[in-house]
Amino acid sequence: MSDEPSRRIEHTVADTGTLVRGEKLRVRRRCWRVLAPKWAHAPLSGAGAARHGGRYNLPGMEALYLSEDLLTAVAEYEQELGIRPGTFCAYEVDVRGVVDLGNDRARATLRITLEDLLGPWQEIAFVRGEEPLTWTLAQRLQVQGCVGARVPSAVLPDAANLVLWRWNDAPDRRVVAHDPLGDLPVDQGAWRQ
């Protein structure tokens, strides 16, 4: 463990580079996610991310993590546990109020670097007991009215994910799990049979 002060001290919720309205995007596209089969009945839930936290959400904060392509979704799903069963799910996304953290200008405005985004958040949170910069960033963005962020994948170079902190709570924040044949289970009971 280093004797250097934590980056957390330098980046508080009040320490914002303010985003201008024009830097918030509308994301309108198909995205992907691989669901643990046991939880496939709740493809729009952010409860799993809230349980322990994720790269862009602290524990207790729901978040919906989606990938821009199927290969990235698989890589993100397998990053810690390796090959395991999963249920592919496509999503139709139409959400306004997203900041693109893959954009150099947006990162400069927020005074963060690509290295900040891709840092070892789990080590910082669970080993060092500190708040990862990405958790602070998520709070800062929400204070500024952002509902989510387009973020670089920490697993695949040149790939991107979408993390949402608010979805399906207003007409301009719509996310639909694409299940035209009703293949996803309706509840967890499917796993007890």
The 10s digit of each residue's pLDDT in 11-24 is 333 444 566 555 79
Nearest to 7 by CA among 126, 101, 113, 143: 113
Pairing state between β 64-67 and 160-164 = antiparallel
Q: Which residues pair with 152 in a beta bridge?
A: 160
CB 160 within 8 A of CB 98: no
Q: Are 186 and 95 a contacting pair, CB within 8 Å?
A: no
For the chain, the domains span: 22-191
What's the whole-number mean pLDDT along residues 15-39? 80
pTM (2 d.p.): 0.87
- In the chain, the percentage of residues whose pLDDT exceeds 70 is 87
Q: What is the H or E stretch that residue 151 is in? A: strand 148-152
Is the pLDDT higher at 176 or at 3? 176
CA atoms within 13 A on the CB side of 192: 4
Measured CA to CA in angstroms, residue 123 lies from 126, 128, 131, 132, 155 at distances of 5, 6, 10, 9, 16
List the one residue out of 105, 90, 104, 101 whose CA is nearest residue 153: 101
Q: What is the pLDDT of residues 126-164, one digit of tens each?
A: 999 999 999 999 999 999 999 999 999 999 999 999 999
Confidence of residue 38 (pLDDT cuts 50, 70, 90): confident
